[in-house]
Amino acid sequence: MKRILIAIALCITVTSFATERKFENDYNIEQSKFNSSAEESGLSLLNGKLAFSRNDSIYQAEIDDSLDIKEIVFVEDLSKLGIEGTFAQVGNTIYFSSGGDLYSADLNNGTWSNPQKLKIDSLSGGRKEYTGSSFAHRRWTYKIKPISGLYNPTVTPDGSRIYFSADFENGAGGRDIWYIDRKENGKAWYAPKNAGYAVNTSADEDFPFLAGDSALYFSSSRTDTLGSVNIFKSFMNRKAKMLAADFNSANEDFNFVATENCIFLVSDRNGNRDIYRPGLIVLPPDTVATDSVAIDSIPADTMLKDLNIIRKDFNTVVFYFNFNKTSMISEYEKEFEYIFNFINESPDSEFAITGHTDERGSDSYNLRLSRNRAREVYNKLVKMGVKTKLEETGDRFVVDGLGEQNPEIKGAKTEEEHQKNRRVEIKKLD
By the 8 A CB rule, do 289 and 361 touch? yes
CA atoms within 13 A on the CB side of 232: 27
Assign residue 405 the CATH number of its domain: 3.30.1330.60
Which pLDDT score, from 0 to 100, does residue 143 have? Answer: 32
Which pLDDT score, from 0 to 100, does residue 145 have? Answer: 39
pLDDT tens digits along 301-315: 333 344 444 555 556
CB atoms within 10 A of CB 327: 13
Q: Which of 12-26, 57-71, 201-215, 387-401 has the lowest mean pLDDT?
A: 12-26
Q: What mean pLDDT do residues 395-411 have?
A: 86
Q: Which of 244, 278, 312 is the C-terminal boundary of a domain? A: 278
Q: Which band of pLDDT confidence, cut at 50, 70 and 90, is reported for residue 138?
A: very low
Q: Does residue 100 fall inside a structural domain? A: yes
Selection from 262, 216, 211 nearest residue 10 by Cα: 211
Q: Does residue 185 fall inside a structural domain? A: yes
By the 8 A CB rule, do 323 and 303 touch? yes
Q: Which of 18-32, 57-71, 137-151, 238-252 has the lowest mean pLDDT?
A: 137-151
Q: Looking at the 3D structure of the chain, how many domains does it have? A: 2
DSSP 354-415: EEE--S-S-HHHHHHHHHHHHHHHHHHHHHHT---EETTTEE-EEEEE-TTSS-SSTT--SH
Which pLDDT score, from 0 to 100, does residue 274 have? Answer: 95
Q: Which residue has the higher pLDDT, 242 or 59?
A: 59
Q: Which of 278, 308, 331 is the C-terminal boundary of a domain? A: 278
Which pLDDT score, from 0 to 100, does residue 426 have? Answer: 86
Tell me how far CA of residue 270 lies from CA of 33, 89, 178, 251, 253, in angstroms.
13, 31, 31, 9, 11
By the 8 A CB rule, do 155 and 92 touch? no
Shared domain check, 389 and 248 = no
Tell me how far CA of residue 136 lies from CA of 61, 132, 133, 141, in angstroms.
48, 12, 9, 13
Shared domain check, 345 and 243 = no
Q: Does residue 118 fall inside a structural domain? A: yes
269 Cα distance to chain centroid: 11
68 Cα distance to chain centroid: 16
Q: What mean pLDDT do residues 259-267 have?
A: 87
Percent of the chain with pLDDT over 90: 34
Assign residue 224 the CATH number of its domain: 2.120.10
pTM: 0.60
Q: Which band of pLDDT confidence, cut at 50, 70 and 90, is reported for residue 401?
A: confident
Check whether 206 has a pLDDT greater than 60: yes
Most confident of 207-211, 212-216, 318-322: 207-211
Single-letter amino acid, residue 400: D
Shared domain check, 121 and 8 = yes
DSSP 237-284: SS--EEPPBTTB-SSBEEEEEE-SS-EEEEE-TTSS-EEEEE-SPPPP
Helix (H, G, I), strand (E, B) or coil at 306: coil
Selection from 206, 178, 209 nearest residue 191 by Cα: 178
d(CA 33, CA 275): 9
Which pLDDT score, from 0 to 100, does residue 18 have? Answer: 52
Q: What residues contact 200, with CB distance under 8 A and at least 6 apart?
A: 171, 172, 173, 176, 177, 194
Q: Does residue 95 fall inside a structural domain? A: yes
Percent of the chain with pLDDT over 70: 73
Shared domain check, 304 and 408 = yes
Q: What mean pLDDT do residues 401-415 have?
A: 84
* Residue 12 φ/ψ, nearest 5 degrees: -65, -50
Q: Which band of pLDDT confidence, cut at 50, 70 and 90, is reported for residue 355?
A: confident
Q: Which of 278, 305, 337 is the C-terminal boundary of a domain? A: 278
Which pLDDT score, from 0 to 100, does residue 9 have? Answer: 32
Q: Which residue has the higher pLDDT, 270 or 72?
A: 72
Check whether 408 has a pLDDT greater than 60: yes
How many Å is the maximal CA-CA distance in the chain?
A: 87
pLDDT tens digits along 69-99: 989 999 999 999 999 999 999 999 999 999 9
d(CA 342, CA 351): 11
Which pLDDT score, from 0 to 100, does residue 4 have? Answer: 32
Mean pLDDT over the full length of the chain:
77
Q: What residues contact 186, with CB distance under 8 A and at least 6 apart?
A: none
Which pLDDT score, from 0 to 100, does residue 324 have? Answer: 57
Which pLDDT score, from 0 to 100, does residue 6 have? Answer: 30
Shared domain check, 300 and 266 = no
The H or E element containing residue 102 is strand 101-108
Q: Does residue 264 fall inside a structural domain? A: yes
Q: What mean pLDDT do residues 217-244 have?
A: 86
Shared domain check, 318 and 177 = no
Q: What mean pLDDT do residues 279-291 have?
A: 40
Check whether 205 has a pLDDT greater than 80: yes
Helix (H, G, I), strand (E, B) or coil at 212: coil
Shared domain check, 113 and 84 = yes
**What residue numbers bound the domain in which 424 lies?**
295-428
Shared domain check, 232 and 372 = no
pLDDT tens digits along 6-62: 332 333 333 444 555 555 544 578 899 889 999 999 999 999 999 999 998 999 999
Helix 363-384 / helix 333-344 crossing angle, nearest 10 deg:
70
Q: What mean pLDDT do residues 226-242 have?
A: 85
Residues linked to residue 206 through DSSP beta bridges, in sequence order:
219
Shared domain check, 308 and 197 = no
d(CA 399, CA 427): 11
Which pLDDT score, from 0 to 100, does residue 289 have? Answer: 34
Helix (H, G, I), strand (E, B) or coil at 169: coil
Shared domain check, 248 and 394 = no
Q: Does residue 397 fall inside a structural domain? A: yes
Most confident of 32-36, 123-127, 411-415: 32-36
Shared domain check, 182 and 108 = yes
Shared domain check, 302 and 256 = no
Q: Does residue 232 fall inside a structural domain? A: yes
Q: Does residue 285 fall inside a structural domain? A: no
Check whether 410 has a pLDDT greater than 80: yes
d(CA 392, CA 340): 22
